[in-house]
Structure 1
Amino acid sequence: MSVSALIEPITGKPGIFTLPGAANWMQGRTLYGGASALIAFTQAIRAFPGLPPLRAAQIGFVAPVGETVELSAEIVRQGRNVTQLRSEIRCEGQLALTTFLLFAEPREANAVHAATIPADFPPPPEECEVMPTDRGPGFIANNFELRRAQDTSGPGAPVVRRWARLKDVSGLDPISELVLMGDVLPPGAMRAMRRQGPISSINWSFNLLDTTPSTESGWWVSENASQHADDGYSSERLRLWNSAGKQMLDGMQSAAIFG
């Protein structure tokens, strides 16, 4: 079932909704974080049509998100150029996810500095090894294609980089696609783990660097890199590039490293 079918019931009005095909997006006992973030984002833009482009988001993964959700969205402040908005998901009456979204009109640039293309940017996806998707969470195998985008594998530098694309993007706008895909990889700290164990995202914040993102054939390069890991947690930097090496998203995340 396509992701557009997952979010189709969302009207923007506050209320309780059952999400069709949610089982295809589960990560253990909760909905995959990118899908949960997309649900909250969709609630916001359908509640308040005509918003400026999304520029940034802060997302807290509070509790498991299931098939039946209670959605709400409210404008916190609306200025001449910037609108700040809160969108939340509740399950069984308890807060499960909270997002703070920043939408802003473009202004005349007073500072211009483009993100640099990594020196080790991978070759095109058709030249890269196909990655098996049946060893991880079910939502990966159900919805994504992955290809290796780094030379190393196994233990080593705590960085995970992959070419990734959705199997079905029908009916999904480019910004929604990035919200859905920005959290697709496991934490880079998994490559520094001394033994296998569960991992879980606690939060996610990101800035969009391009409000009209595009890429070739649906392929994006996604990277999670641990900046510091200790005491059972990892501070991660999350980045997403298009097929030409232009960075689209820059983010951070705190991940719990169990085991």
Structure 2
Amino acid sequence: MNSPFREERPVTVGRPDSRIDTSKPHPARVYDWLLGGKDNYPVDQEVAEKLPAEARGNAARNRAFMHRASAWLARSGVDQFLDIGTGIPTEPNLHQVVQTVVPGARVVYADNDPIVLRHAEALLISSPEGATDYIHADVRQPEAILERAAELLDFDRPIALSLIALLHFLPDDQDPYGITRTLVDALPSGSFLVLSHGTADQHPELREKTETAYRKGAIPLRMRTRGEVEPFFEGLDLVEPGLVFATEWYREAPAPVQERSGFYVGVGRVR
């Protein structure tokens, strides 16, 4: 029987290694473990288990922000999404959230972890009216991602660029601000940047343990303060409630009882 859903074929750009190296941990697989997933290996679990106990709650609260922000954007009329640093599929995925609101929404995913490529089929099952695509690529090659994304997305109309729990894995010498600017500059007026970034501002006592766990796994980690996250939104109009902790970003309902958060989040509109 033919599937009623549209399926695309994932494409590799920039020649990232498509082999899964189970001897080295990967941030996407560590995050998968924190979310209760099973697509990770002992090396990833070893890093995750050394993180503070709050890490699991922080991961869940960060993903909940992604769901809220994406749904709000879809309800606001955005029907194109570019999600870089997608991670291992965990339902509901971004396209499932937005296509529930806008069935014709188009979503392009990009990630450099080969295990995400292996599971790309789960990311490519779109609603019949919409479309999804997956690019196996590294955020440090933004031009290549933009060129490939333009095959499905219309860069003459608003696009929501999603950088969730990604940029804290880019140290300063890899120019995370410049990479973000390259991506945002390609977006037309009326587009949005949806960003979350790791921080220790609410729990500085956990910073050393977090950084040590990732460092021992040879994963670069650069948690940033609020003042260091703000420049990612330079030139954009921050949507209320602005740049806040993940537990504070609510648009259509009051924020619940506050919990500590290991993420700053925000949504900025392109002028």
TM-score under structure 1 length normalisation:
0.25
> Between Structure 1 and Structure 2, which shows a larger proportion of helix residues?
2
> Between Structure 1 and Structure 2, which shows a larger proportion of strand residues?
1
